[in-house]
Structure formats: structure tokens, C-alpha cells
Structure 1
Amino acid sequence: MSDAADNGDYIAYQGEPGAFSELACLTYAPGLTPLPCATFEDAFEAVRTGRVKKAMLPIENSLAGRVADIHHLLPDAGLHIIAEYFLPVEHHLMARPGVTLDQVKIVRSHAMALGQCRRFIKDHALKPEMAGDTAGAARQLAEQGHGDEAVIASAHAAKQYGLDVLAANIEDEPHNTTRFLEMSLEPEDADPDAGAVVTSFVFEVRNIPAALYKAMGGFATNGVNMTKLESYQLGGAFTATMFYADIEGHPAHEPVRLALEELSFFSSSLKILGVYEAARER
């Protein structure tokens, strides 16, 4: 992680300069300077130690699903979700100056980016190779790439590293969007009367028959809409399952309060990660 941040007017993200996460920081929080971090844990730590004010982290993509590792890191991060942001993802094929599309044989990028551009890769008979992230692939290509190599990344990355865009908007679907969570050390719960509100939480159901079914019943009977429910294993044990959920509504609202009370009765743990205004893109 860079040592540039010394006054807190920064927002941390995972990746290198030119990454989609940096673009999310620049578009959603233009008043803060993006600070690249090598890992999600580094971004969390930058917030916890006060080196940055906030962190901007991707949680899911409309085509590729959830971002690996992020869910099981959130409960122990010590941070609070304060906002969500939906970034339209536009993938571009880029190469070193002077290289043409018909010369390209190999394309590198993050696994999610490669997966979101399968049709283009297949149609042009390119050999996909995975890289740690889109911006890192772009940087490495600019520094030591060959004439038969290209990367998939953002136009922001092409500008950052002086690469030529050979083909624009090559993603398989035009609705490709990544949802980001803005996180801070202190909670900034939305006003109960602010309008559409999202409450995010994680929970582990008790080891009793039909525990998940019973735990979910409170949301149905109280008319609370659950927009996301995802499971992941704890510590590699098949018997210990944690769930991440998003619901519409504020814990101060009676239906949400009652639903969470019923959930807690059938859960061995329950932790609210954030209460924040819903993005308009929902």
C-alpha cells in the first residue's frame, strides 16, 4: 500500500491504479483521493488505522455473481457499510501502441473480466490467461508486453498506461454492472424516514431442523422484502454455514424489527453490517 495517505482525505480500494475499483472511487467520491491496496484486508486496515476515511469494495457483479472472498471478510472487518454504488462496467481490449487486432493471440485479465467477455474471446480465437486484476494486467503489458498480447480492462486503465484500445465495449451483455459498498469505521445509519433503505447483515442459523426455513419466516409474515441471501462456509466446515442478506427497510421500522427478532431466535449469531440509503439503480 502506498504511503501517500497522511491526512485521511483518501478512500481505499483493492487493486492497482486504473482498476475499476479506482474508477468507482473517482466517480462516487470525487472529493477523496483513491488509495490502492494490494488486498481487501489491506483496504480494511487502512480504514481501521485512520489512514483513509473510507473504503470502496466490490461485492457482486450482475453477470459473474459475487466477488470471491469479500463476504467472509466483511463480518470481521470492523467496518460498517454506509452506502452502495452501482458502476456500469465497460470492458475494452487494449494493446501496446502500434499493435493491431489481427496480431493479437493472447488476452489477459482478471478471471471475472475474462468471464464477462467470453463471446468476444471465442469469436476472435484468443487464448485467455488469468491475471490478478485488470489494471495490473494493463500495467504489465505496457511495461513488458509483446505484439501478440492484449488485455481486457477499462478505458481508464488504457489512459493510465498509454495503451491503445483495439475494441471497445466487448462485454457479453450491455447491462454489466458491479455493485460496490462504501465502508467506514463508524456507522452512518440512514434516517428511517429517508426513503428506500437497505439493511445488510450476516447470520448463522442454529443447528436445529428447518432452522433456515423458520428463520426466514419472520420476513414473510412481516412483509419484509429480502433482495439477497447468499451462503458461504465457515472455516472449511460443511456444518457451519454463514448467510449474508440484504433486506428493504430500516431496523427502526416495526416490520423489520420484528423480522430481525424472529431471525435472532433461530440464529446462533446475527450482525448488522450497515443501514444505508438504497441506490437509485435498484
Structure 2
Amino acid sequence: MQAVERWLVDRAVLPIENSLGGSIHRNYDLLLRHRLHIVGEVKLAVRHCLLANHDVEIEGLKRVLSHPQALDQCENTLTKLGLVREAVDDTAGAAKHVAFHKLKDTGAVASSAAAGIYGLQILAQDFQDDSDNVTRFLMLAREPIIPGTDRPFKEGPGVLFKALAVFALRQINLTKIESRPLRMQPLRASDDSNGGSPK
């Protein structure tokens, strides 16, 4: 995202939601931190593999490395194998670490492409718990496709209803709405003895 902001690249691709793991909250926070615009989205089927160095068998593995979302998406399979999970920044990085350190008791959950790049063998394909595993990615750019006409609502009673009413009036169905706390503002509660005004 910083590369887009610094004009080093034109677009960034950010995973935002997975059909098994749900919302990727860390990336929602990144959207707030970086002033980029959503200019598209794509949904991709996720096909995880269990990777290891050559001459390593699945029975010899004790732990597995991967991104937290990938570990969540393979939770049942990993539990059946009795493997200790260790979270790292990304799936490709997990594969690279296993290959670079020539680990014999550690595998990685990553793509078949990562196996080819880092010279690892594929111990198991379609390693995710659900074959219908899909991740939604956002495409981000410096400039919006349509110049900004969005204006934030002021806080107050009924604001959420007013914001959502436009969708209902146009017969548009929402699949999800999610609120995130603002890091710089404490959570607020309403004081019933004070006429419902926030504390």
C-alpha cells in the first residue's frame, strides 16, 4: 500500500474477507490507515497445499507455518494431523522459511506456486477444510474511479438507518455490514439516566 502511495506501483491488492475465516480485521485497519481508494474487487478460490522439504514425510512433521488466515482455513485438517501451528506474515514467507532453513520437522501451508519457487515438495493438495474456500480481494489505487461524492454522516440518532435506507429503497440487498472501533477514540456507552446521551 505504501508503494502505491509513493507512486512506485499503480495498484495494490488486499485480501479483505474469506468464506471460512471471515473478515480480515487487520486489513480493515490498513484501509483506514492508508488513504487509497477501492477501484475493484475479485473473488478467488483458495487452494492450499501442505509443503515440506524433499525426503520429508507427512508423518515426520511436528509443526506447520503459515499466515493466520491460512491456518484457520485448515484448522480441522491440522488438528487431525496433530501439528503445532505457528503464524507468520504470509504463506509464501512460510514456504521460504522452511526451504531456506532446510527444516525437516516443519511444513508450510502455502500455494503450489510457492512449492515451485522454493523447491519444496507438495505433501497434500487441497489442504483447506472446505473445497468452497473463497477469498475476496480489493484492488486499491491513489485516485477513485469516480471522483469523490461521498460525504460522511454526522453522528446522531438514526444515522445508520438513514445511511442504509437508500439501499432498501432501491431493492439492493446488503450481504454484510461491519463496524470497527476507532483506535484514537474510546468506546462510548449511552447513559439512560441522562436522556440517552453518550458518555
Give the TM-score range, shorter chain.
Answer: 0.7 to 0.9
Whether 1:225 and 2:182 are equivalent positions in the alignment is no
Cross-structure match for 1:269? none
Tell me, in whole angstroms, the C-alpha distance in 1 between the residues paired with 2:106 and 2:123.
12
Q: Which runs of 4+ in 1 moved over 4 A?
A: 201-205
Q: Normalising by structure 1, report the TM-score.
A: 0.60
* Whole-angstrom CA distance in 2 between matches of 1:155 and 1:175: 18
What residue is the counterpart of 2:194 in the other structure? none
SS in 1 for 2:179: strand
Match of 1:179 in 2: 136
* Deviation digits for residues 148-203 of structure 1 (CA, Å, limit 9, x no counterpart): 111111111111111111011110101111111111122224xxxxxxxxxxx895
Between 1:152-161 and 1:221-230, the stretch displaced more is 221-230
Gaps spanning 5+ residues in structure 2: where?
A: 190-199
Q: Larger RCO: Structure 1 or Structure 2 (Cα < 8 Å, ≥ 6 residues apart)?
A: 2
Written as runs of structure 1 = structure 2, the 5 A alignment for 1:49-64 is: 49-64=6-21
Identity of aligned residues (%): 38
Q: Distance in 2 between matches of 1:202 and 1:178?
A: 29
Matched, 1:211 2:154: no
Deviations 1:81-118 (A, max 9, x none): 22111111111001111101111111111111111111
Q: Please provide the CA RMSD for this pair.
A: 2.2
Structure 1 runs not aligned, ≥5 long: 1-43, 190-200, 241-282
Picking from 122, 126, 144, the partner of 2:101 is 144
Equivalence for 1:102: 59
The corresponding residue for 1:13 is none
* Paired residues, number: 185
1:1-282 matches, cutoff 5 A? 44-189=1-146, 206-208=155-157, 210-235=158-183, 237-239=186-188
**Counterparts of 1:175 and 1:218, CA distance in 2:** 32
Which has more strand, going by share of residues? 1
TM-score (norm 2): 0.84
CA 202–175 in structure 1, closer or farther in 2 if over 3 Å, else same: farther
